[in-house]
Chain A
Amino acid sequence: MRNSSRAGFTREMLINPANEMKREAHETQRLRHINKIDEEVSTAQRSDSLVQSINQHFPSKWQIIAFVAGGLLSLIPMASAQTPADSDTEQVRRGEYLARAGNCMGCHTTRGGEPYAGGRKLNTPFGQFVTPNITPDNETGIGRWNSEDFWQALHYGKSKDGRYLYPAFPYTEYTKVTRLDADAIFAYLRSLPPVVQTNPPHKISSPYDNQFLLYLWRAQYFKEGVYQPDKSKSDEWNRGNYLVQGLGHCTACHTARNVLGASRDDKLSGGKIMGTHWYAPSLISPLEAGVGEWPIEDIVELLSTGINSHAVTSGPMATIVRQSLQHLSDYDLRSMAVYLKSLDEKRDNTPQKVRKMPEQVRQYVALGEKVYKEHCQNCHGESGQGVPGIYPPLAGNRNVTMRSPLNTIRNVLYGGYPPATAGNPRPYGMPPFQHFIRDPEIAHVVSYIRNAWGNIGSLVYPDDVDNSRGSEF
């Protein structure tokens, strides 16, 4: 598999989990090429203007409402139980909050475009999907829909005209949303100014454009059903489960997908995000992003501010924090944290054998030390200790040592800022090194940080770096 330039290495040393991922990446890249995608991208969208106007208009009221909404829902563990019908404005406000939690705007808005007017392109191995206009315009939006039509879409994945919707719209998760919540979201969407905007059609590769295939796919993979609370668990846990598995559609990114694009399960066990070069780590494994050993406060801090003293969000996750999670009430964030904490796989407590690095590996890794001293140490510290809350530590950082080196390579190529949030409004940033360090040195420095200061990770090679490029956001 490996080419001759690495002939000096024995097979064991060269086993590189990136290979598996790479092949997948290659395939996606090929498909992406065929579909001529790229100027638009697969994660979320910018929409500060709306957030800001909300904050300006009701600074504190908004927070109170959010909090009350969260609190009310928890009293009636799942709102499918009776709740007195919301008053109209109350319902709209609740809907606005819930739409945030579902990040509807993130997908249904183009970069710099009209909120909710759609037109955003989502690239997948099956082709390019274009999000529809969901403002209440009669001709180009959902102005003629009633709440039943909306429920059919959100809950069953069926459009008003009876057409089955593609699961690029995460109705596979939204199906867990209660009718009461769906109605509130619909009321909110109805309250938006109608925007006349016709979006281009999807460009789906054959045979995936066939409705009958989609029908079969649904029969196989789509399980319809509102979330059923688990009576043996706390209200917080149930609320967290509802948000994580339902509206928050965390599974849409954080599970592996099979070749037909279906989530393997709803276990949040991690996977490469379809159509992008990002790996969404497992939220159950203590070796990846499982948070079983974190205090609740640390989890809440990461989700709401994008950073805490030992971890930082980047790439698509930073966008999710900016667009959605930072706006959630403290109660809802705590609930998600309680649920996420409960998912932790039990750790294998047998101490890891510290193997002595074979000499060639040691030499390869040492090449990266030079690069680190010159370009990285200034911020991340002499022994990878970082500066808590400012520059993430690299020593003991699971994002760095994770089986897949994809995100780490991308961090070095493209740099980035954590999201600007109320809790961290002026983040410090990481420079992009793509124009300043060549692929071999990037491979060296990534191999180095994966193996320095007690870290243990597989080695990374220049073609791993090259294969991590593209699909920017």
Chain B
Amino acid sequence: MPMKFFAFILLAMISGLVSAAEPASAGIPDTLEERIKPCIICHRDADLIDRDAYFPRIAGKPAGYLYNQLRNFRDGRRYYQPMAILLENMSDGYMREIAEYFASQPYAYLEPVAPALSPDETKSVETLMYSGDPERDLPACSACHGEKLMGLQPAIPGLLGLPHAYLAAQFGGWRNGGIMRGQIPDCMSEIAKKLTQEEVNALVQWLPGLPASGQSAGADALTPELAQRCRTILSGQEVAR
């Protein structure tokens, strides 16, 4: 075995494969794109993945949001086993770089699917989206997620172009507590808990019906009151402790 091993090294050296001085030799590009290949197996373009697939898009989402999620997975605040294993031994700095990479990637959004909702249901979802419900202390979704629901920099994601199954699972996670995004109360989990199951069912159908377009809005679109509500997330406090 060792003989073979050394023979192999020798061979490799002769054929110029081993070049200890330059690690990024042998044609492996020294890029982030090469380094995140393991992520792409699941998070690739929508046209390569079934629309019903559970894997969410991550390209083009705000970098701060993505970074927070990576830390959540690594530190056990959001649970998905395959990702937790990949991130187990990553540093904060490396994860931030990866988050920025995905945030900068263009994304081909899913074609909208017309929801099967009654006019009444549609109307009540739209009210929730754009006006909220002051009685239950529910701000409009658009107040935080942007007028066009395309998110706010740097830490609030857009709501369009996400698969129905993924949306449903996120609300399930927030509402049932559980391990997924459930450990620390934050503005979004508080809102999700106040919604009725009917409202959730309707909005996870309604959202994939809208075409996604445009960019996420700037941070100044958020009122100070709402920024205060989401301070743990916006400041990264939640994760840094």
Could you list which residues of chain A lie within 8 angstroms of chain B, going by C-beta atoms?
A: 39, 46, 48-49, 52, 110-112, 114, 286-287, 293, 306, 309-310, 318-319, 321-322, 347, 351-352, 379, 381, 385, 387-391, 393, 395-396, 398, 401, 414-420, 425-432, 434-436, 453-454, 456, 472-473
Q: Is B199 an interface residue (CB 8 A)?
A: no
Within the assembled complex, what's the spacing in Å between the Cα atoms of A287 and B2?
A: 8
Chain A nearest CB, measured from B176 CB (Å): 15
Contact with A along B64-85 (1 / 0, CB 8 A): 0000000000111101011011
Given contacts A390-B28, A426-B94, whether A431 and B38 have CB atoms under 8 Å apart is yes
Contacting residue for B4 out of A396, A418, A419, A473, CB 8 A = A396
With CB as the reference atom, state the residue of chain B lying closest to A354.
Answer: B4
Q: Of A309, A318, A398, which contacts B89 at CB under 8 A?
A: A318
Q: How many angstroms between the C-alpha atoms of A306 and B94 in the bound complex?
A: 16
Q: B41–A48 contact, CB under 8 A? A: no
B90 interface residue, CB < 8 Å from A?
Answer: yes
A249 to B1 Cα, complex, angstroms: 29
- A418-B89 in contact given A425-B94, A436-B41 (Cβ < 8 Å): yes
Closest to A430 in B: B38
B136 at the interface (CB under 8 A from A): no
**Residue from B23, B75, B82 in contact with A112 in the complex, judged by beta carbons closer than 8 Å:** B75
Measured CA separation A393–B74 after assembly (Å): 28
Determine how close the nearest CB of chain A comes to the CB of B81; give it in whole angstroms.
6
Q: Which of B1-48 contact A (CB under 8 A)?
A: 1-5, 8-9, 12, 17-20, 23-26, 28, 32, 34-38, 40-42
B93 CB, nearest partner CB in chain A, Å:
7
Question: Which of B2, B82, B89 is in CB contact (< 8 Å) with A432?
Answer: B82
Pick from A114, A388, A396, A473: contact of B5, CB below 8 A: A396
Considering only residues 120-146 of chain B, those with a C-beta below 8 Å from chain A are none
The answer on a CB contact under 8 Å between B25 and A432 is no
Of all chain B residues, the one with the shortest Cβ separation from A114 is B241
Find out whether the CB atom of B97 lies under 8 angstroms from the CB atom of A426. Answer: yes
Q: In the complex where A293-B2, A396-B5, A472-B81 touch, is A429 in contact with B241 (Cβ < 8 A)?
A: no
Instruction: Give CA–CA (A318, B103) in the complex, Å.
Output: 28
CB distance from A457 to the nearest CB of B (A): 11
Judge whether A432 and B28 touch: CB under 8 Å. no
Verify B19–A416 contact, CB threshold 8 A.
no
Given contacts A388-B23, A420-B89, 9 further A-B contacts (CB under 8 A): A111-B76, A347-B2, A385-B8, A387-B25, A387-B28, A417-B88, A425-B94, A428-B35, A428-B37
> Are B86's CB and A415's CB within 8 A?
yes
Instruction: Considering the complex, give the chain A residue whose CB is closest to the CB of B34.
Output: A428
Flag if A425 contacts B28 (CB, 8 Å): no
In the assembled complex, which residues on chain A have CB atoms less than 8 Å from the CB atom of B8? 385, 393, 395-396, 453-454
B residues within 8 A CB of A319? 88-89
Cβ contact of B75, chosen from A111, A321, A347, A387, cutoff 8 A: A111
Say whether B169 faces chain A, with CB atoms less than 8 Å apart. no
- Closest-by-CB residue of B relative to A410 is B85
In the complex, what residues of B have CB within 8 A of residue A389's CB?
Answer: 20, 23
B108 within 8 A of A: no
Q: Does B92 reach chain A (CB closer than 8 Å)? A: yes
| Pairwise interchain contact B4-A426, C-beta atoms closer than 8 A | no
B179 on the A face (CB < 8 A) = yes
Cβ of A48 and Cβ of B92 under 8 Å apart?
Answer: yes
The reply to whether A401 and B1 form a contact with Cβ atoms under 8 Å apart is yes
Q: Which 6 A-B pairs have the closest CB atoms?
A: A112-B75, A111-B76, A419-B89, A431-B38, A396-B5, A389-B23
Which B residues are within 8 Å of any A CB, using their own CB? 1-5, 8-9, 12, 17-20, 23-26, 28, 32, 34-38, 40-42, 74-77, 79, 81-82, 84-94, 97, 179, 239-241
Give the Cβ gap from B50 to chain A, nearest Cβ, in Å: 12
List chain A residues, Cβ under 8 A from B2: 286, 293, 347
List A contacts of B97 (CB < 8 A).
426
Once A49-B240, A347-B2 are accepted as A-B contacts, the answer to whether A472 and B85 lie under 8 Å apart by CB is yes
Give the complex CA separation of A445 and B9 in angstroms: 23
Q: State in angstroms the CA–CA spacing of A462 and B78 once bound together.
A: 31
Contacts of A401 in B (CB 8 A): 1
29 chain-A/chain-B pairs, Cβ below 8 angstroms: A46-B75, A110-B76, A111-B75, A112-B74, A112-B75, A112-B239, A114-B241, A286-B1, A286-B2, A293-B2, A306-B89, A319-B88, A319-B89, A387-B26, A388-B19, A390-B28, A393-B8, A416-B89, A420-B91, A426-B94, A428-B35, A428-B37, A429-B35, A429-B86, A431-B38, A434-B82, A435-B82, A472-B81, A473-B88
Least Cβ distance of B239 to chain A in Å? 8
B4 CB to closest chain A CB (Å) equals 5
User: Which of B1, B36, B85, B91 is A473 in contact with, Cβ under 8 Å?
Assistant: B85
Instruction: Return chain B residues, CB-CB under 8 Å to A52.
Output: 92
Q: Give complex CA distance A429, B19 in Å.
A: 20
Q: Do B75 and A429 have beta carbons less than 8 Å apart?
A: no
Q: Are A432 and B86 in contact (CB under 8 A)?
A: yes
Report B-chain residues with C-beta under 8 Å of the C-beta of A414. 82, 85
Task: Judge whether B38 and A427 touch: CB under 8 Å.
Answer: no
Query: Would A390 and B88 count as touching, CB distance under 8 A?
Result: no
B86 touches A472 (CB 8 A): no
Q: Closest approach, in angstroms, between the C-beta of A27 and any C-beta of chain B? A: 23
CB A369 to nearest CB in B, in angstroms, measures 19
In whole Å, how far is B201's beta carbon from the nearest beta carbon of chain A? Answer: 27
A residues near B90, Cβ cutoff 8 Å: 417, 420
Q: Once bound together, how far apart are the Cα atoms of A309 and B97, in whole Å?
A: 25
Q: Point out which of A112, A306, A419, A473 has the most chain B C-beta atoms below 10 A from its C-beta.
A: A112
Inside 8 A of A429's CB, which chain B residues have their CB? Answer: 35-38, 86
Separation of A391 and B23 alpha carbons in the complex (Å): 10
Q: Which residue of chain A lies nearest to B42 when distances are taken between CB atoms in the complex?
A: A435
